[in-house]
Homo-oligomer: A and B are copies of this chain.
Amino acid sequence: MEGGKKVWYFPDGYLPEKSTAGAMEAHEALMLFNTHEKPVAVKIDIYFSDRAPARDIAVTVPAERIIALRMDHPEDLAGNRIPPVTQYALRIRAEEPIVVQFGRLDTTQNNMAYYVGVG
């Protein structure tokens, strides 16, 4: 996958407080893009300001697919729960080069705002 990378970093995670306002709540998501013709195994590490990292969260990206992981959904992170209103950072390690983007996925509002990671 020319141009992909095996390691990606996203320093600026910060889940907002849960709110019930609006049809679709603000949240953060990780997009994993695999153009290979085979699945790619990925490990996610979550770093914090004041505690040891959570390591080796295993995810598989299917062949020729884009998947989105919700950072506020423990079921997308093998049961790991990221606390809200807490600075966190992500390291993504893939066994083959892929492309990863971190962002706020909020598509129903006109004034959608968007985090973007540096990779």
Residue ranges of A at the interface with B (Cβ–Cβ < 8 Å): 2-9, 11-12, 14, 16-17, 21-22, 26, 31-33, 35, 45, 47-50, 52-53, 64-68, 85, 87-89, 91, 99-101, 103, 105, 107-119
Chain B residues whose CB sits within 8 angstroms of the CB of A67 once the complex forms: 49
In chain B, what residue has the closest Cβ to A19?
B110
Chain B residues whose CB sits within 8 angstroms of the CB of A35 once the complex forms: 9, 45, 47, 53, 91
Besides A11-B101, A35-B47, A116-B118, 18 more A-B contacts (Cβ < 8 Å) are A9-B33, A9-B99, A11-B32, A12-B31, A12-B103, A14-B105, A26-B110, A31-B89, A35-B45, A47-B65, A47-B66, A49-B65, A66-B87, A66-B88, A109-B110, A109-B111, A111-B111, A113-B113
Chain B residues whose CB sits within 8 angstroms of the CB of A47 once the complex forms: 33, 35, 64-66
In chain B, what residue has the closest Cβ to A67?
B49
Contact A66 B11, CB 8 Å, known A110-B22, A113-B113? yes
